[in-house]
């Protein structure tokens, strides 16, 4: 017996095949395409194509009778905490200051994560859409993170990210004495077995990082980083490539230097997502974000190094 459902506002504008795979994630892609070829998937009673864009209110009919997979929106278990440092929130987005040692999304059921905490803190009850991060921060990177709270906001933000309408700046504490400013434009190749990337001059994914030294005293420097591309571990690999690895970075840093910082309580790469700025002409329905900048204060471990050196980020307006 065929199964029917209606497109909701969160799904509007998505491709039909993506909507169906979201509802039935275990359905093999080959089987889904076969149903499209045999014209057995209908939109408002007419055969549909896999790449049709759906509209809210349309009725979809599929030839199988299995109900969609229901999402569990209530995190369980004592590992999920509630508190989040929310910088800004409305009905479309939530911007938070992510602590380090916290996953952006849960890797397995009951994991503590940004998304699990948002679901709890906001009392989320909408089964048709789950809060979704628009970009990622590594587990041990702190700072500003944008989460979409509905499907339309997610699509607009994803497109804005692809089109360079969002600027992200980081603060990092690095070893050595970097140049006053520079641009690192070196491709990166990922080794999935080690979860590391390697800078290369020929093959690999294009990656570009712009940096500016704010303050330094020969062995440590505070730098501002702007990631012009968004590759995994980009800031860490690029700063190590120019000879100024991020303090506390066990994968890309200097282990002897890191050991000295461990004795001072530094247990992670001192990289912090400081600001996010939206383009002056940001698209609807998020046009009210146009030209706005949001800031996330660094956490205590980062600030402890600044205080030790007698540095204060407010002195430089960063």
Could you list the active site residues?
138
**What is the C-alpha to C-alpha distance for residues 108 and 240, in angstroms, rounded to an integer?**
32
Helices (H) and strands (E) in the chain, counts: 7, 16
Q: Per the structure block, which two tokens stand in for 143? A: 């700072």
Q: Is 84 helix (H, G, I), strand (E, B) or coil?
A: coil
Helix 16-23, helix 29-37: angle, nearest 10: 130
β-bridge mates for residue 208, sequence order: 185
Is the Cβ–Cβ distance between 153 and 130 less than 8 Å? Answer: no
Q: Which residues contact 288 (CB under 8 A, 6 or more apart)?
A: none
Number of neighbours of residue 306 by Cβ within 10 angstroms: 19
Percent of residues in the chain assigned helix, strand, coil, to nearest 5: 20, 30, 50
Q: Where are the alpha helices (DSSP H) in the chain?
A: 16-23, 29-37, 114-121, 151-162, 234-241, 255-262, 300-309
């Amino acid at each position: 017996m065929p199964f029917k459902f209606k497109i909701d506002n969160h799904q509007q504008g998505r491709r039909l095949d993506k909507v169906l795979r979201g509802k039935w994630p275990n359905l093999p892609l080959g089987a889904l395409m076969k149903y499209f070829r045999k014209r057995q998937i209908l939109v408002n009673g007419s055969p549909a194509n896999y790449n049709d864009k759906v509209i809210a209110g349309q009725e979809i009919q599929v030839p199988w009778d299995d109900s969609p997979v229901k999402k569990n929106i209530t995190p369980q278990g004592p590992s999920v905490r509630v508190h989040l440092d929310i910088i800004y929130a409305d009905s479309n987005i939530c911007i938070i200051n992510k602590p380090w040692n916290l996953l952006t999304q849960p890797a397995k059921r009951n994991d503590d994560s940004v998304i699990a905490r948002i679901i709890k803190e906001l009392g989320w009850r909408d089964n048709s859409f789950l809060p979704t991060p628009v970009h990622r921060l590594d587990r041990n990177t702190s700072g500003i993170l944008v989460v979409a709270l509905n499907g339309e906001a997610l699509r607009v933000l994803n497109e804005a990210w692809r089109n360079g309408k969002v600027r992200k700046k980081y603060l990092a504490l690095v070893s050595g004495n970097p140049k006053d400013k520079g641009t690192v434009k070196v491709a990166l190749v990922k080794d999935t077995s080690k979860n590391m990337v390697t800078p290369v001059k020929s093959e690999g994914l294009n990656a570009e990082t712009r940096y500016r030294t704010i303050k330094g005293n020969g062995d440590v420097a505070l730098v501002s980083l702007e990631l012009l591309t968004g590759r995994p571990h980009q800031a860490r690999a690029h700063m190590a490539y120019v000879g100024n690895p991020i303090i506390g970075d066990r994968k890309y840093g200097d282990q002897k230097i890191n050991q000295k910082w461990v004795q001072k309580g530094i247990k992670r790469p001192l990289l912090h997502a400081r600001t996010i700025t939206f383009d002056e002409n940001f698209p609807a329905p998020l046009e009210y974000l146009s030209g706005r900048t949001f800031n996330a204060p660094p956490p205590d471990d980062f600030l402890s190094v600044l205080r030790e050196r007698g540095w204060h980020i407010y002195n430089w307006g960063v």
